A and B are shown apart, each in its own frame.
Chain A
Amino acid sequence: MAWRDDWRRVRAIARKDLTTELRTKAGFNGVAALGVTILILLGLALGPDGAALRNAAVGAVWLATLFAGVLAFNRSFQVELESGALEPLLQYPGPRWTIFAGKLLGNLVFVTAMVAIVVAAGVVLFGVGIPATWPTLVGVIALGVVGLVVLGTFYASMSSRSRAREVLLPMLLFPMLVPVLLGATTASKALLGADLMHEAGAWIRLLAAYDLVFLIATFVAFEHVIES
């Protein structure tokens, strides 16, 4: 059945990307280390004031995730380019969206693991307590990661064949991520506090809608982007 073949292709690409990353010493370790390093630097820049650190924790964690994530997205297509494997990948029969879905799935696993480390480091370094609403907070982080990975994977595919891809990717990606960053940080901050204004729900809905719209749009646009 066609959908079974498509799902097999999606899993194959994700598994191949993750296996490659696990075997490349500079892969996951490097990206996670970058995320933690950014957190430490931001902590040092903010100074020893505990209240200021706690107040800035959410923003610091999301910024660290954003910058380290860009490195991960660039790597996911670099694997294809370094070995000249992009053409064989595009030459396989089957719909193009399976390539995007496979890359997306691989990046989701990769970035989720990286975010787990960055969040844990943020909790320790910035002295943030775990709130009673932590399941909702995990949901917000998941929505933020989905938004980041969907757009990151798409724009990485767009910039992958440019010689200036390291510069091009953040230039294309960061403006598009403003709503994700705003929604994720505001909702997270509200959930870490008392959420007296009941604003978390509205931001979570915005985040979910943004993810959904761009998930559909990127799947539709990927075929044109990868072939141009």
Chain B
Amino acid sequence: MSNGQSDRAIDVSGLGKRFGARWVLRGTTLAVRPGEVVGLMGQNGSGKSTILRIVATLLKPNAGTAQVNGLNVVRDATAVRAQVGYLAHTPGLYDDLTARENLKFAADMLGMPATVVDASLERVGLARVAHERVRGFSAGMERRLALARLFLRTPTVLLLDEPYSNLDAAGVELINSLIGGIVRTGGAALVALHELAPARGLIDRTLTLVEGRIDAARPNLVGAAAGVA
């Protein structure tokens, strides 16, 4: 087991994942360094979400390895979960709880003090609806609340699955500033994207998944490749 120190925040090697008879990932290899934001692009079903879910310890790979800060996502899953912040495609909120109750629950589960809840609601602009049930929220408000939950603590590795969906321009700006804040302190982010536009200026480089493999022939949509993966 590693001591958690590594020159690669995310290190995925030869990753394979099968659902039934269908291989979604076929030997995917990629790396993200501390302080780096990498965009993961590809068509629907190309395996972007599957990679994120494996690194987030929510799925076990059928082949290959994945590490977060030198910790194996299967063997050291509990330690990895303490370092990773994962934003799924769906917000995963409880409709019959208020915004504040949703965050209080998350704070309890994360072992964070209850004082972070109000600050987090303020940060995403939902303080005025803190005591309203999530059932009445718009998709954009749910997304903001999921973001508030993600940033209750300061994860060292962010795994974001289409984080810009349902967000307006202010929401896009908010998420970019939150991600930027994590990365400036040495964190790293792997972001699954359909389009690059909202993340331009934040993403250091892009990788494109085609049929479960990183396509080396696809150009880095941001600029020069950064030397890994």
Chain A residues in the interface with B (C-beta under 8 A)? 5, 8-9, 11-13, 15-16, 19-20, 23-24, 79, 82-95, 227
Q: What are 13 residue pairs bridging A and B, where the CB atoms are less than 8 Å apart in the complex?
A: A12-B109, A13-B109, A15-B105, A16-B97, A20-B94, A24-B96, A82-B95, A83-B93, A83-B94, A83-B95, A87-B53, A89-B109, A227-B60
Which residues of A have CB within 8 Å of B106? 88, 92
**Among B60, B78, B105: residue with most chain A CB under 10 A:** B105
Cβ–Cβ contact A93 & B111, under 8 A: yes
Which chain B positions have C-beta within 8 A of A86? Answer: 92
CA distance A204 to B38 in the complex (A): 61
CB-based contact B111/A8 at 8 Å: yes
Is there contact, CB below 8 Å, between A93 and B108? no
Interface positions of B (Cβ within 8 A of A):
53, 56-58, 60, 78, 81-82, 84, 86, 88, 90-97, 101, 104-106, 108-111, 133, 149
Cα separation A84 to B143 with both chains bound (whole Å): 13
Contact of B108 with A91 in the complex, beta carbons under 8 Å: no
Cross-chain contact A84 with B91 (CB below 8 angstroms): yes
A49 CA to B153 CA, complexed, in Å: 65
Do the beta carbons of B60 and A16 come within 8 Å of each other?
no
Query: Top 7 nearest A-B pairs by Cβ distance?
Result: A12-B108, A84-B90, A92-B109, A93-B82, A88-B92, A93-B81, A85-B92
Give the chain B neighbours of A88 by CB distance below 8 A. Answer: 86, 88, 92, 106, 149
Cα–Cα distance between A16 and B84 once the two chains are bound (Å): 24
Chain B nearest CB from A38 CB (Å) reads 27
Say yes or no: A87-B58 contact (C-beta < 8 A), given A20-B94, A93-B82: yes
Q: In chain A, what residue has the closest Cβ to B78? A: A93
A144 → chain B closest CB, angstroms: 30
Across the interface, name the chain B residue whose C-beta is closest to A98: B109
Q: Are A9 and B90 in contact (CB under 8 A)?
A: no
Q: Does the CB pair A9–B109 fall under 8 Å? A: yes
Q: Which of A15, A20, A84, A93 contacts B96 (CB 8 A)?
A: A20
CB distance from B120 to the nearest CB of A (A): 15
The verdict on A12 contacting B78 (CB below 8 Å), with A83-B92, A84-B91, A93-B111 known, is no
Known contacts A79-B94, A88-B88, A88-B149; 13 further A-B pairs (Cβ under 8 A): A12-B108, A12-B109, A20-B94, A23-B133, A24-B96, A85-B93, A85-B94, A92-B106, A92-B109, A92-B110, A93-B82, A93-B110, A94-B109
Assess whether A92 is in contact with B94, with CB atoms less than 8 Å apart: no
Beyond A5-B111, A12-B109, A84-B90, whether A92 also contacts B95 by CB under 8 A is no
Task: Tell me if A91 and B57 are in contact (CB < 8 A).
Answer: yes
Given A8-B108, A84-B91, A85-B92, answer yes or no on A91-B97 (Cβ-Cβ < 8 Å).
Answer: no
The interface residues of chain B lying within 8 Å CB-to-CB of A91 are 56-58, 81, 84, 86
Most buried by A among B108, B110, B133: B108
Q: In the complex, which residues of chain B have a beta carbon less than 8 angstroms from the beta carbon of A83? A: 90-95
Q: Which residues of A contact B91 (CB under 8 A)?
A: 83-84
A79 to B95 CA separation, bound complex (whole angstroms): 9
